Structure 1
Amino acid sequence: MASGTQKDEAKAAAPASGESVRVDSWIWSVRLVKTRSMGATACRGGHVKVNGERVKPAYTVRVGDEVRLRQGERERVVVVKRLIRKRVGAPAAAECYVDNSPPPPPREAVAPAGIRDRGAGRPTKRDRRELERLRGFGPPDGGSGSGGPKVP
């Protein structure tokens, strides 16, 4: 029954016949970006391409168009299946496009630098300096930084 509700929700958000949908509004409606203004900013910055061309926020999107959206290091590639004007729930939004995006890169299984074992106690001054050096805060030579004689 939930599937029928999702379809009804997407149909209710569809534009009337003959109306068009802006690309910034569509990528917001199908939840590719969090806000419509973020969608418009992405278009203005050249991060949105429709059928291989950089587009402005007011570009009208049609069924069958390939929309590429670059978000940081990742690129989303979707093909428009249905036009919607209003933001809908995630399951209903997923029915409005075909996701051809490459899989995200795997997360590194390496423990992040600077994590101590539980129960190891408070770090000594030497441990703290080593952690700061690993994080890039301390002096690179491992010394205190002064090294020279005191000047009055």
Structure 2
Amino acid sequence: MDKLRIDKYLWAIRLFKTRSQAGDAIDKGRVKLDGNSVKASRLVAIGDQYEVKTEARKWVIKITGLLQTRVQYSEAVKYYQDLTPPEELDRLQFQAASFHTGKRLSKVGRPTKKDRRDLEDFTDGD
């Protein structure tokens, strides 16, 4: 358990759903060590501190243990320490609850059937 690639580690601690997503994020420069982008083949070491940008949020993690396989979330959180600044966490609280559900916000976008009927009644009334 001495050697572990960063893409496999990020997948194992459940920051990314698949290992290929972790690799893509690394290739796009969304994973940094000391402000420098890393390669997917980089070996992680205990004590390293990484900045990771996922679709949901920005993480600052410190590695506290090496994890070779993917385990439950409750077990995975024991292998890293979340050092994300509080202002980043505050920013996430203001996002809409439906942001990641795929549903549109109420009263935004196309009119409903009721809105269409009301509009037709209004224009036919002239």
TM > 0.5 fold call: yes
Residue 112 in 1 paired to residue 106 in 2? yes
The structure with the larger Rg is 1
Aligned to 1:138: none
Shift of 1:113: 1.8
Structure having the larger proportion of residues in helix: 2
TM-score (norm 1): 0.61
Deviations 1:37-91 (A, max 9, x none): 1111111110111232100100011101111111236211110000111111111
- Name structure 1 gaps, 5 residues minimum: 1-14, 116-121, 130-152
1:27 counterpart letter in structure 2: L
Shift of 1:114: 4.3
**Kept after mapping to 1: 8 A contact 2:15/2:54:** no
Aligned length: 106
* 3-state SS in 1 of match to 2:114: coil
Aligned-pair Cα RMSD in Å: 2.6
Over 3 Å counting, the alpha-carbon distance change for 1:113 and 1:42 in structure 2 is same
Over 3 Å counting, the alpha-carbon distance change for 1:30 and 1:124 in structure 2 is closer
Over 3 Å counting, the alpha-carbon distance change for 1:113 and 1:40 in structure 2 is same
User: For residues 45 and 62 of structure 2, what CA distance do their matches in structure 1 show?
Assistant: 10
Aligned to 2:100: none
Over 3 Å counting, the alpha-carbon distance change for 1:30 and 1:114 in structure 2 is same
Aligned to 1:144: none
User: For residues 89 and 71 of structure 1, what CA distance do their matches in structure 2 show?
Assistant: 19
1:93 to 76, 90, 93: 76
Over 3 Å counting, the alpha-carbon distance change for 1:127 and 1:99 in structure 2 is farther
* 3-state SS in 1 of match to 2:8: helix
Aligned to 2:52: 69
User: For residues 63 and 50 of structure 1, what CA distance do their matches in structure 2 show?
Assistant: 13
Aligned to 1:134: none
Aligned to 2:114: 123
Aligned identity (percent) is 29
User: For residues 22 and 12 of structure 2, what CA distance do their matches in structure 1 show?
Assistant: 10
Residue 57 in 1 paired to residue 50 in 2? no
Give runs of ≥4 in structure 1 deviating > 2 Å.
Answer: 124-129
Aligned to 1:23: 6
